[in-house]
Structure formats: C-alpha cells, structure tokens
Amino acid sequence: MKAAGKRKALSLVAALTASFAAGTALAHHSLAGEFDTSQTFELHGAITKVEWTNPHIYIYVDMVDKGETVHWQCEMGSPNQLIRQGSKKTDLPIGTVIRAQANPARDGSKTCSTRKITLDDGKPVFTRTGAY
C-alpha cells in the first residue's frame, strides 16, 4: 500500500474510532445531571412493567395521587450491578406493590432515579450503593 493509501486508511480508522467514542460519551449521563439528588421523595405503587436491559434497568410504577393514577418511570443501576448485589429479574414481578425512595428528574417528567426499593411490607429489595 502506498503512503497516501495508508494515510487515508489511518484517517478513516481514526474518524470511526472518534465517532464511536463520542456516541458512547453522549449515551451515558451523570446521576446529578439528570436527577435532582438534593430532593428525595417516596413513590408508592404497583409495578406495571420491568425493562432489564443495559445501560439501566427501568421499573414502571402506577401510583395513585389525589385519586388520579400517575405513571412513573424509575431508573435503577445496570443489570450487571444489580446482579452483583444479589438482585434477579424475577424479584419484582408485575403487580408487586413497592415503596421507592427516589430522586426526581430535573426536567419535571415523571421519571426518577431510585435510591431504595422495599416491598409494601418493608422487606428491602434494592439499595443504591453509589452513583451510576
């Protein structure tokens, strides 16, 4: 391969590497950037859906507030992080009533970052041990 061809190939590899790195950096967010970690509230309701996928697990909860059903999306850690802590996908089946200590989304949406989840009887299911 001639020098000009090698430079073109090297430039292409560098451009592709940079684009993948940028995509990865944009795909992840900081906890404090998306959620207001200075505020904590309790979410109490029934699980309607669980998404056990990377980069974060999401639990969807219906909470009744002043007679109205409010649909919440609760972000948790990664599946790998939760598995290492002893959690399983089957720990929170649809219909389970939970209490979640959470941080609200900064954008005002019905999205939160869960800090701690307990069953309605107080049995702990998940506790965030650090930022993710």
- Tens-digit pLDDT profile for residues 36-91: 999 999 999 999 999 999 999 999 999 999 999 999 999 998 899 888 888 888 88
- The domain defined by 35-127 folds into OB fold (Dihydrolipoamide Acetyltransferase, E2P) (2.40.50)
> For residue 22, what pLDDT is reported?
43
Domain residue ranges of the chain, discontinuous segments joined by +: 1-30, 35-127
Three state DSSP letters for the chain: CCHHHHHHHHHHHHHHHHHHHHHHHHHCCCHHHHECCCCCEEEEEEEEEEECCCCCCEEEEEEEECCEEEEEEEECCCHHHHHHCCCCHHHCCCCCEEEEEEEEECCCCCEEEEEEEEECCCCEEEECCCCC
pLDDT in tens, 46-59: 999 999 999 999 99
Higher per-residue pLDDT: 8 or 81: 81
pTM of the model: 0.72
